[in-house]
Amino acid sequence: MFFYEKIRNNRFNNKAAILIFNSLIIFCRLFIFKRKRSEIRIVIVALQRLGDTVFTIPAVKSIIDFHQNSVHIICYPETTPIFKLIFPKQEYVELKHEFFFINNQIAKPIARKILRGLDPTIIYDMTGNVTSASLLFNSSASEIIGINEKYYKSIYTKFNPLRREPHLIDNYLDGIRDLMPIYKSNDAKIITNFNQNRILIHPFASKRSKEWGLKKFIKLAESLNKEFECIMVTPPLSISTDVKEVLHIKQIPLIETKTIDELIELIKGSLMLIGNDSGAVHIANLLGKPTFTIYGPTNPEYHKPLNGVNEYIIKELPCSAKENEKICFTFGGVYCPSYECMVNLKYDEVEDRIKLFLKTNSNRKSK
C-alpha cells in the first residue's frame, strides 16, 4: 500500500506524520533567505500525467488571466503540447522524468536548481503531491500558493488541502478560488473538422487495471468498421507482432503515435475517440471531440470530462469506488488480483452503449 494510505488508515499515525513533516519543513525553511525582487515572476508547477494536465487548464488559465504577466509553466515534456494548445505564448520549462527519484516522486537537486534559476516571486502549485513538495520546500519565492497533502502545509504561504469530493478540476481551482476570478470551462474552442467518418480507439491506459482488454477493443473495432472507418491508435511498441497481424487480417488500421503532438493531430482529424480512463480521452475532449470512456477502478464522478459530448460505462461491484472515493480500495486496481470490474464488463454491454451513443450524437459522412 502506498505511503499516504498506510498513514491515513491510522488516525494517530496520520496526526503524528503531519506534525513531524511540517516541523522538518519549518526547520529547513528557517535557513532560506528571501530577498526583495523588483520584478514579479510567476511560475506554475504542473507536473501531471496527461489527463490531469487537462484538468489543470481552468486553474492555469485563471492564473494567467489574473496576473497578465508572462508566466513560466513547469511541466513534463509530454504535457507541454497539451498546454500549448491553450497557452501558446507562455514560457515552458520541461523537467525530465530522470530529474526525479523513486518512480518520479522525489525531485533531484537538478530539478530544484532549474526552479531556482527562474527566480520566481510567486509560485502556484497545481500538482499537489510529494513531487511538487520536494521541488518547492526550499524555494525562496515570496509566495507559494497551492494545494497538497497536509503533511506539506508549511511549504505554502497560501495552502488548501486536497479535496475528497468530485471533481478533480475543482481540486486545482481550490488552490486559487479565494484569490482571483476563476475560469470554470475546460472548452478550448479549438477549430477541428467534426464532419469525419473516422473513429479512434485507444485501448491502453496508465495502469493495466484500467484497461478493458485489447481483444475486446479489436472486436469492437471490427464491428464498427462495418459502418465507420475505425482506427486503433497506440503508443509505439505496445502492440506485439502477432496482434498486428491479427489487425491486418481483420483490416483494422493501426497508427502508433510516437509523440503527443502526433496524437493531437490524429484526434483533430477524427469524429470521436473511444478508450479507457486515460489521457487520450481527455485530450480528445479538450479538442472538442465526443468521447466514450470505459471506467473500472476509478470513479467517473471525479475523472469524467465535464464539457462537450461524452458518455461512459462502468461495471458497479461491491468493491467499486464509493460515492466520495476517487478510486477503489485496491488503490485504483494497483493491488487488485483479478480486475473484476473490467473482466465482468461484457462486450455486448459496451457495444450496445457505444452504438446508441453514435446513433444519438454522430454527425458524419457516409462511409
pLDDT in tens, 98-129: 999 988 899 999 999 999 999 999 999 999 99
Average pLDDT over residues 279-302: 95
Q: 198-361 belongs to which homologous superfamily? A: Glycogen Phosphorylase B; (3.40.50.2000)
Per the structure block, which three cell numbers stand in for 292? Answer: 466514450
Locate CATH 3.40.50.2000 in the chain.
Answer: 3-174, 198-361
- Confidence at 185, pLDDT banded by 50, 70, 90: low
Residue 182, Ramachandran bin (φ over 0: left; ψ between -120 and 50: alpha; else beta):
beta
Note the pLDDT of residue 283.
97
Q: What is the pLDDT of residues 55-98, one digit of tens each?
A: 999 999 999 999 988 899 999 999 999 999 999 999 999 999 99
pLDDT for 188 equals: 52
Kindly report the CATH number that applies to the domain delimited by 3-174. 3.40.50.2000
pLDDT at residue number 256: 97
Higher pLDDT, 364 or 342: 342
Q: For residue 289, give the nearest of 170, 184, 188, 205 by alpha carbon.
A: 188
Model confidence at 258: pLDDT above 90: yes
Percent over 70 (pLDDT), the chain: 92
Please state which of the ranges 182-196, 274-288, 332-346 shows the lowest mean pLDDT: 182-196
pLDDT of residue 129: 94
Closest CA to 53 of 91, 88, 80, 93: 80
Flag whether pLDDT at 30 surpasses 50: yes
**Amino acid in position 207:** K
Per-residue pLDDT at 56: 96
**According to the model, what pLDDT value does residue 124 have?**
98
What mean pLDDT value characterizes the chain?
91
Residue 187 has pLDDT above 90, yes or no: no
Residue 323 has pLDDT above 90, yes or no: no
The predicted model scores a pTM of 0.91
Q: What is the pLDDT of residue 361?
A: 80
pLDDT for residue 364 = 47
